[in-house]
Structure 1
Amino acid sequence: MVVVKGQDTSEPGGVPAHPAASASADAGDEAAEDDRRPSPDDLHELLAERGLAPDDVDQMVDVAAVGITARWWRNTKVEDWHAGSAIGALSDVDMYRINTHTTAKVRERLRRWRREQGLHTMVDVADADPAPLNRVFYNLYRWFTNPNRTLIIGTTLRDVVAQTLSNARTHPDCDVPDNVTTETELEDYDNQVAGAAGYLLESMDEYDPRSVLYSPALFATVWARRWWGLPDYPSHVDRVFAVLADPGHRTWQNRPIPPPPDGVNLVDVRKKMLTKPWELPDSVCQWLINDAAEHYIFD
């Protein structure tokens, strides 16, 4: 674990007992804390309250992919390898690319499972054979945690961790214990993802396969708002470009509209944001994330 001097040393952990609760619960404490996992009916009600359509199997598969990515990737030790431009090996642009690409890969796998099992409604999901879904989640766990997996940015997970530790050990504001190594960091991450996957599979054992879609979908509504792949993401992109075209909008009260990089066609940028944002050029990603701060444009 990388410790920045003066920083709270509590690290992001496993899945909380309730998907809408804080993401800081310790992965190893799940079994002790989890007297009763929320049932699919409980989750159905909460999802509806948050404006989703829990009876829409297409939507639930896609939103679950967002929640799985947020829970198994973004809200884990990965933040240690991202936070701090002088320490974490992953930049904001790197994370933007990895988050969106990972979501697409998870969604692709869940959609394939649904097609292969011939599931057309959430009633079908409730009655589905859990064995194929167990295999899907085991394979996803192996994929997420494979240290030799090449990320969309072109480097492996192991290299990201090794570079972060190297940066931290030479940074004056960091204190890295001697027993923290690339392997221990990877092991901690593996344990977190295993805990997250185990929570979902145990929920499915207790109830039915709807749990493994509803739980991460609910997590997404709390921890992954305005994320690529959510039902309201296209409308968010529409708002972003409307605000970028409106010099009188309150967003620009204290600063001018940041111009896009030279030669950039905003029509093409909008299209790529909706389809394959991980393919956007570095300069455009930097402009969207840091200059335009698109994630913080609400209306």
Structure 2
Amino acid sequence: MANDDGMSPEVQRMIQEAQAMMTDEVMEETLRSKAGVDPSHLATLLDLVAIGITNGAWRNSCIENWHAEGRLSDGDMMRINSYTTDAVRRRLKGWCIESGIISASSSALEGTDVEDMDVLVGRIFRWLTNAERRLPTGMTLGELARSREDLEEYEDHADRALSGFTGQMEDKGVRFGLLRTACHGALACSQWWAHPTWPDRVERFIRVLDDATEPHWGSNGERRERLGVEPPSVEDRDILRSTLLESPWKLDATAAEWIVDAGIGYLTPETGLSAATASDQK
């Protein structure tokens, strides 16, 4: 007999067995072997958690549908995703300080309980769903949503995603939930700002811009030609590098669109981590 979700007892059993195999050690090894990340380094772990939360609670929602409808361009998505990741990361780090977690090692998270995480998640939810929150594009979230119904659709998604984030901690502990979300960020979003490979991606992108013979541009450089003239804010490579590394959301709309069209998301960083398993930052 199936349960309320339509799952048979056999399917339920298989899911439970698979979940039982997921442990802190499995998540740590995944980060090491698949993403080249040291899970004991707290700052790096929090960066990846921020990416994972942003991808799950923001991008993989009706926001992506609004993007497809033309409400947001590819360049807009790059700016908003990086801005949102930064905001989530700042809240994670602020919460750590408030909780007395000042060690550089992620083992300091072991004494944290789910109630403490509920406070953090509540802050993230309120910030994400604030209709008056202004996006890097200049519009507010409410203006992007266009209707109360659309805004509520996003609120429902964010609530489900963040509830899932804390729900897994109730079963296996706070550190497990953070490690699992970090794996999500590391493997599903390796083209995102704040990912450990982002600095190498930026450096390669800067080099490629000044090398018309780079295979990235095609056999005859045709892709580079199709891009057209560089926006003024792209011409100064030092400023471009600094902005991409520190705050891509501060790019102007024209530059952000040009950079995405130039294929920054398709360049493989020279770090041994393949971009083949990554999702697009768009």
The reply to whether residue 193 of structure 1 matches residue 150 of structure 2 is no
Aligned residue runs from structure 1 range 15-164, under 5 A: 35=16, 36=19, 38-50=22-34, 51-83=36-68, 87-119=69-101, 120=103, 121-162=105-146
Name stretches of at least 5 consecutive residues in structure 1 with no aligned partner: 1-27, 163-181
Q: Is the 8 A contact 2:136 2:250 kept in 1?
A: no
1:29 Cα offset (Å): 9.4
1:216 Cα offset (Å): 1.8
1:201 Cα offset (Å): 1.0
1:125 Cα offset (Å): 0.2
Q: Is the 8 A contact 1:47 1:54 kept in 2?
A: yes
Q: Within 1, Cα distance between the matches of 2:193 and 2:61?
A: 19
Q: Is the 8 A contact 2:76 2:253 kept in 1?
A: no
1:256 Cα offset (Å): 5.7
Residue equivalent to 1:280: 251
**Mean CA deviation greater in 252-261 or 135-144:** 252-261
Give SS of 1:151's match: coil
User: How many residues are matched?
Assistant: 248
With normalisation by structure 2, the TM-score equals 0.80
The reply to whether residue 221 of structure 1 matches residue 186 of structure 2 is yes
Q: Within 1, Cα distance between the matches of 2:39 and 2:209?
A: 33
Match of 1:260 among 220, 225, 230: 230
Q: Within 2, Cα distance between the matches of 1:105 and 1:208?
A: 24
1:262 Cα offset (Å): 3.9
1:154 Cα offset (Å): 2.1
Change (3 A) 1:283 1:230: same
The one-letter code of the counterpart of 1:217 is A
Q: Within 1, Cα distance between the matches of 2:254 and 2:6?
A: 42
The one-letter code of the counterpart of 1:200 is F
Q: Within 2, Cα distance between the matches of 1:200 and 1:256?
A: 41
Deviations 1:129-148, CA, capped at 9 Å, x for gaps: 43322100111112212233
Q: Within 1, Cα distance between the matches of 2:155 and 2:6?
A: 16
Higher helix share: 2
Match of 1:294 among 247, 264, 269: 264
Q: Within 1, Cα distance between the matches of 2:137 and 2:213?
A: 37
Q: Is the 8 A contact 1:63 1:230 kept in 2?
A: yes
Deviations 1:125-170, CA, capped at 9 Å, x for gaps: 01124332210011111221223322222222222122xxxxxxxx
Change (3 A) 1:256 1:151: closer
With normalisation by structure 1, the TM-score equals 0.76
**Mean CA deviation greater in 139-148 or 73-82:** 139-148
Identity of aligned residues (%): 29
The one-letter code of the counterpart of 1:77 is C
1:249 Cα offset (Å): 1.4
The one-letter code of the counterpart of 1:265 is D
Query: Considering only aligned residues, what root-mean-square deviation do their CA atoms show, in Å?
Result: 2.3
